[in-house]
Amino acid sequence: MDNSTRRSFLAGAAALAAAPVAGSAAAALATPAAAFASAGATAEDPNDLPDYAPIPPSSLGKPVNSLGYAVGKVSRNLYFVTDTDYLSAFIATRDGVVLLDAPPTLGHNIQRAIDEVTKPLGLPNKVTHLIYTHHHSDHAGASSIFGKNIARIGHSETRRLLKRDNDPKKPAPEETFDDHRTLHIGGERIELHWFGENHTPDNIYIHLPGHDALVLVDIAYPGWVPFSNLNLSEDVPGSVAASAKALELPWKHFLGGHLGRVGTRRDVQLHDAYMADLNIEVRRALTTVDPTPFYAKYGANAWAAVKHHLNYVSSVAAEPVIKKYLGRLGAVDVNTESIAFALLESARLNQGFEMSVHD
Ligand SMILES: [Zn+2]
């Protein structure tokens, strides 16, 4: 924001404080309901939904079977299982199966996928270990179907949060770690790392050196942009930095926990490039968009002014990034504005970007 824009921002804020409520357009309408309807604040019409760009074919995974899942090899005895929305993984060892997350949308299809893989190979099909990536129910909520007699492993904060959530479908891990733990199960080496808060305080990196693979959930999705508000990140700077930390480890195969396919280093690099571009555009839009019209329009309704100002900044920031990545990342036209919003709030709240101290 240059000085004149900053002055107009302050003028807008001052006008907001001084605006007489009765002078607003909404107040002139007969009823609050009429004002609500006139503002277009009605629910979305399910019979008139917007269209979006087609998903690039390269973003899609293996088609699911009649039961609603697809299973496939990542490398050696590491397999992924997906329903096209969620993706988890398992290692079929000589001593039993190590499961990496148990999403409830996959539910009992996880065991079906394990059976499909292990039976022809003559390997045991029993899940003996379940490693949680983090405490969220959408990745952990089918844990209890594997019974009480398995080893559940996770970060110490995952244990605390699962005890707090107190949901019998996702029992807290008995075996925990804080920064790093190496597991040797059925002849396989599994490295668990916690590199700081990102999507959640407890989200970990599961590195499988013998499989050249990394499991890092709810950060980057191969072939797609993140979900709304940057995957509902609890720590936006941590989430933004997480993909670069992932790339510091040696691996070829990337499992992101969502959607239908396994990724590569290129997928994570593309995610990083998209996020970096969006971050630049967010900062540019925050400095160039004139907030005055929003404050002039909404007068004393501070939240309306802020809402429409920041939504507009998000849309201005998103526009060139959507154009650049259309056809390269799925749903770039669906979620980029909302991801821009998460980044702009983080720029303001974490870095104090464009927040000047009053004279
Ligand atoms: Zn999550």
Domain spans in the chain, listed from the N-terminal domain onward: 1-30+265-359, 58-263
Ligand 1 centroid to residue 136 C-alpha, Å: 5
Angle CA 72–73–77, to nearest 5: 135
- For 110-161, the pLDDT digits (tens) are 999 999 999 999 999 999 999 999 999 999 999 999 999 999 999 999 999 9
Ligand 1 centroid to residue 15 C-alpha, Å: 42
Ligand 1 centroid to residue 139 C-alpha, Å: 7
> CB within 5 A of ion ligand 1: which residues?
136, 218
Predicted TM-score (pTM) of this structure = 0.89
DSSP, collapsed to helix, strand or coil, labels residue 224 as strand
* pLDDT given at position 33: 57
According to CATH, what is the number of the domain 58-263? 3.60.15.10
- For 20-46, the pLDDT digits (tens) are 333 344 344 455 555 555 555 678 899
- The answer to whether the CB of 250 falls within 8 A of the CB of 211 is no
Ligand 1 centroid to residue 214 C-alpha, Å: 17
* pLDDT given at position 10: 41
Ligand 1 centroid to residue 233 C-alpha, Å: 8
Ligand 1 centroid to residue 229 C-alpha, Å: 12
In a 13 Å sphere around the CA of 156, the CA atoms on its Cβ side amount to 6
Ligand 1 centroid to residue 138 C-alpha, Å: 7
**What are the residue ranges in the chain where pLDDT is below 70?**
1-41
* pLDDT given at position 31: 56
* pLDDT given at position 35: 55
Ligand 1 centroid to residue 228 C-alpha, Å: 12
β-pairing, 151-155 vs 127-131, is parallel
Ligand 1 centroid to residue 281 C-alpha, Å: 26
Ligand 1 centroid to residue 100 C-alpha, Å: 14
Ligand 1 centroid to residue 50 C-alpha, Å: 27
Ligand 1 centroid to residue 61 C-alpha, Å: 21
Ligand 1 centroid to residue 280 C-alpha, Å: 26
DSSP, collapsed to helix, strand or coil, labels residue 277 as helix
Ligand 1 centroid to residue 92 C-alpha, Å: 25
Ligand 1 centroid to residue 94 C-alpha, Å: 31
Choose among 105, 104, 159: nearest CA to 134. Answer: 159
Kindly report the number of other CB atoms within 10 A of residue 28's CB atom: 9
Ligand 1 centroid to residue 6 C-alpha, Å: 38
Ligand 1 centroid to residue 231 C-alpha, Å: 7
Ligand 1 centroid to residue 87 C-alpha, Å: 12
Q: Distance between CA 221 and CA 213 in Å, rounded?
A: 15
In order of 144, 330, 332, the CA distances from 148 in angstroms are: 7, 39, 42
